[in-house]
């Protein structure tokens, strides 16, 4: 086929225009690269983008520390962003409708801490259609990174469970009657912390889980569930694995009420590393906790800005977790949340 110079020039111009369009995909939904995005179609945002955080709940120090980290990072970048915060108050259906509302408001980006793994596919579709990037923090949701959401920033929950199992098997010399207090049913974190722990203790035939129940990550429910399990299992209990410190602290209350000497006769291993857990380790009531860092603010906003600059974002960004026990709890208690 013989193209004239004029046609060839037109073709080149069309190709450049097409490439420019593709590159524009990452501009904020409501505006242009000059930051006119925000409350929708260049709403009165003072030239700033509007970034939202759809939080699941605010029960306990970990969750509060996460919300505060997002708020304080947004405040540090207030010259660039308006910040919108929603709280689903422990209801997944409300969290889904919170995200729907944010999409309707045409915010420029959404950080989402999905309470459960299922239930968010419709809002992922809606956000994609509205050209609003969603970055998952803290927990996973069913979907494809780079397609349904930009990425997920989280801890390695399976590894957290494995580290708890390794430590407990060693501490108990391979023999224990274990109570597992599980996090919110249906959450990726509860599924993975259980899987990692079971994989590890499965290597030790005398490490037996004699009770495993959902305590929903709260201190009150952890205490209540532990009270019931003590009624049923009594002295057969020699160890507790709690998916978070709040439930561990609730279990410690229940064990003390039953004169079962937590930290000595019943070994307690948990996850998170909140201040009150480190204090409990120092007091000898809890034995160890695997860190799960809640301070997502800096990495979350840095990742969003990389995305908007067109940089490649990995499908997962994993936070480093430390380990706290009697040997180092006093060293880190002051900086803990
Ligand atoms: C972990 C987070 C968990 C914490 C709990 O990323 O989802 O939820 O470990 C919190 O303390 O309730």
Ligand 1 center to 194 CA (angstroms): 13
- pLDDT 10s digits, 182-240: 999 999 999 999 999 999 999 999 999 999 999 999 999 999 999 999 999 999 999 99
Q: 38 with 107: CB under 8 angstroms? A: yes
Q: Residue 325 falls within a domain, yes or no?
A: no
State whether 182 and 256 are in the same domain. yes
Q: Residue 194 falls within a domain, yes or no?
A: yes
The length of the chain is 337
State whether 204 and 240 are in the same domain. yes
- Ligand 1 near 63 CB (within 6 A): yes
- Ligand 1 near 139 CB (within 6 A): yes
- Ligand 1 near 62 CB (within 6 A): yes
- Ligand 1 near 244 CB (within 6 A): yes
Task: Tell me which DSSP letter residue 155 carries.
Answer: -
- Ligand 1 near 217 CB (within 6 A): yes
Question: Which candidate, 138, 68, 45, places its Cα nearest to that of 36?
Answer: 45
- Please compute the mean of the pLDDT values over residues 108-121 and round it to a whole number: 98
State whether 164 and 216 are in the same domain. yes
Q: Residue 246 falls within a domain, yes or no?
A: yes
State whether 98 and 149 are in the same domain. yes
Question: Which candidate, 293, 294, 289, places its Cα nearest to that of 327?
Answer: 289
Q: How many CA atoms lie within 13 A of 275 on its CB side?
A: 8
Nearest CA to ligand 1 atom 2: 138
- Please compute the mean of the pLDDT values over residues 296-317 and round it to a whole number: 98
State whether 109 and 181 are in the same domain. no
Ligand 1 center to 235 CA (angstroms): 29
- pLDDT 10s digits, 89-99: 999 999 999 99
Q: Residue 149 falls within a domain, yes or no?
A: yes
State whether 217 and 137 are in the same domain. no
- pLDDT 10s digits, 247-300: 999 999 999 999 999 999 999 999 999 999 999 999 999 999 999 999 999 999
State whether 130 and 241 are in the same domain. no
pLDDT over 90 at 24, yes or no: no
Ligand 1 center to 63 CA (angstroms): 7
State whether 315 and 269 are in the same domain. no
Residue 183 CA to residue 57 CA, distance in Å, equals 14
- Ligand 1 near 272 CB (within 6 A): yes
Out of 253, 274, 292, pick the residue that ends a domain.
Answer: 292
Q: Domain range for residue 126? A: 49-155+294-320
pLDDT over 50 at 38, yes or no: no
State whether 304 and 259 are in the same domain. no
pLDDT of residue 23: 43
Report the atom number in ligand 1 closest to the C-alpha of 113: 7
pLDDT of residue 294: 98
Task: Tell me which DSSP letter residue 279 carries.
Answer: H
State whether 103 and 200 are in the same domain. no
Which helix (H) or strand (E) is 61 found in, with range? helix 61-76
Nearest CA to ligand 1 atom 5: 244
pLDDT of residue 10: 64
- pLDDT 10s digits, 140-183: 999 999 999 999 999 999 999 999 999 999 999 999 999 999 99
Instruction: Assign residue 276 the CATH number of its domain.
Output: 3.40.50.2300
DSSP helix, strand, coil percent of the chain (3-state; round to 5):
40, 20, 40
State whether 150 and 56 are in the same domain. yes
State whether 64 and 140 are in the same domain. yes
- Ligand 1 near 115 CB (within 6 A): no
Number of domains into which the chain is organized: 2
Q: Residue 19 falls within a domain, yes or no?
A: no
pLDDT of residue 44: 56
DSSP alpha helix (H) spans, 187-259: 188-201, 219-233, 245-257
Q: Residue 55 falls within a domain, yes or no?
A: yes
pLDDT over 50 at 30, yes or no: no
Question: Residue 46: which pLDDT band, with cuts at 50, 70 and 90?
Answer: confident
Q: Residue 337 falls within a domain, yes or no?
A: no
């Amino acid at each position: 086929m013989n193209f004239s110079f004029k046609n060839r020039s037109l073709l080149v111009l069309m190709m450049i225009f097409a490439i420019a369009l593709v590159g524009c995909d990452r501009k904020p939904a409501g505006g242009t690269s000059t930051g006119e995005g925000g409350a929708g179609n260049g709403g009165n945002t003072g030239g700033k983008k509007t970034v939202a955080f759809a939080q699941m709940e605010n029960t306990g120090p970990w969750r509060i520390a996460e919300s505060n980290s997002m708020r304080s990072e947004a405040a540090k970048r207030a010259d660039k962003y308006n910040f919108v915060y929603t709280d689903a108050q422990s209801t997944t259906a409300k969290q889904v409708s919170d995200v729907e509302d944010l999409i309707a408001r045409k915010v420029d980006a959404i950080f989402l801490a999905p309470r459960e793994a299922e239930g968010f596919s419709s809002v992922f579709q809606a956000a994609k259609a509205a050209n609003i990037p969603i970055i998952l923090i803290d927990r996973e949701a069913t979907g494809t990174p780079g397609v349904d959401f930009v990425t997920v920033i989280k801890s390695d929950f399976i590894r957290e469970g494995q580290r708890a199992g390794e430590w407990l098997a060693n501490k108990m010399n391979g023999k224990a009657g274990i109570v597992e207090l599980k996090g919110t049913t249906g959450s990726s974190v509860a599924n993975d912390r259980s899987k990692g722990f079971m994989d590890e203790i499965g290597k030790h035939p005398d490490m037996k889980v004699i009770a495993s129940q959902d305590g929903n990550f709260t201190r009150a429910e952890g205490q209540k569930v532990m009270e019931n399990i003590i009624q049923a299992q009594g002295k057969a209990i020699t160890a507790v694995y709690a998916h978070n410190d709040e439930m561990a602290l609730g279990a410690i209350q229940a064990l003390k009420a039953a004169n079962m000497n937590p930290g000595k006769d019943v070994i307690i291993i948990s996850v998170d590393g909140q201040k009150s857990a480190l204090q409990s380790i120092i007091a000898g009531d809890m034995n160890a906790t695997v860190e799960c860092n809640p301070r997502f603010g800096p990495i979350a906003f840095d990742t969003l800005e990389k995305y908007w600059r067109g940089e490649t974002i990995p499908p997962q960004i994993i936070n480093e977790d430390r380990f706290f026990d009697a040997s180092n709890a006093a060293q880190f208690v002051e900086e803990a949340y």
